[in-house]
A and B are shown apart, each in its own frame.
Chain A
Amino acid sequence: MKYAKRNDGRKFNETRPITAEVGVIKNAVGSAKFQIGKTIAIAAVYGPNNVFPKFLQKPDRAILRCNYNMMAFSGSGDRVRPGTNRRGKEIGMVIEKAFENILDLSEFPKAAIDVFIELPQTDAGTRCAGICAASLALADAGFEMKDLVCAISCGLVGDQVVADLDYSEEAFEGGSVDIPIAMTPRNGEITLLQLDGEISKEDLKKAVEFGKEACLKIYEIQKQVLKAKYEETKQ
């Protein structure tokens, strides 16, 4: 099915407006809020903490535990049933994997670093917003990491490759393919790439290109907000 013009009038490679802020939760070691369009993600980092049960401890490094949670009335559809669910668990796991090789976990042997990602309002692209927020929160907490991580979801709506799908595009009646991409901006290493649906090789390549472009844009924003926290008080 043809998708000639985007529902909200954006260009095909254009993301929704992005705002971010760090240090939003005072009790956390590090925290951040990341908003892209109507999707809002808040990440809070705690720890390093003790690990129980003890068999989960790693003697040479810390473990990373990510908790992804969509709030009950965050979406435009039905109420999301609160509490642990399989989708949330899986997304938490892929977010852990997206950070595992970026964070220096050997600094805190036997401990755990806990990341809580809450989504008070969602309009597709939640795991990517969550990764962007978590990346800011981890940097804000002062953990050693090789790079920040930026994420964006790209994909195919009808016959058109687009960047940053919103919910109306994800639910497009002509079919859509959603590809969340996370990467490190300095050397373009991809730390998360998922694909749901059917897509040709050329379109996939194009989607990843769109994703890289958008990630670099997000990186500039991330860099700016992290520095802004300290430059404000500098005077």
Chain B
Amino acid sequence: MDPTHFVHINTGSPEPIYRQLIEQVKRRVAAGQLKAGDEIPSVRELAQALAVHPMTISKAYSLLETEGVLERRRGLSMVVAAQHQRAQSTADRVELLRPTLEKAAAEARQLELSKTQALQLFKSILEEAP
């Protein structure tokens, strides 16, 4: 897998880089873009591709291993864990979006936006070309 396009990171975010890595890998596994047995870039490859401290990468990988997303193979690169044969159900994937939307909902209430106004914005963002 090309390490430069494996994940991307945002600097200036309150979200630590290792968290950003974990969440992106989880979403890609949930969507079935990464499947059981797929090799992921080594700590060295990803650290150099992203110009990020290697400890940040190994911290993210270790936590992904603990959570059963990745598996370590002796002497080889890590792979996506065996139970992730296919994309998760739509219901499960929708659920992964909940924390982000809960945060957006709280902010919409603070801004005293109506439901229609907030949904309108979300809809137009979804319709924008990626």
Real binding pair: no
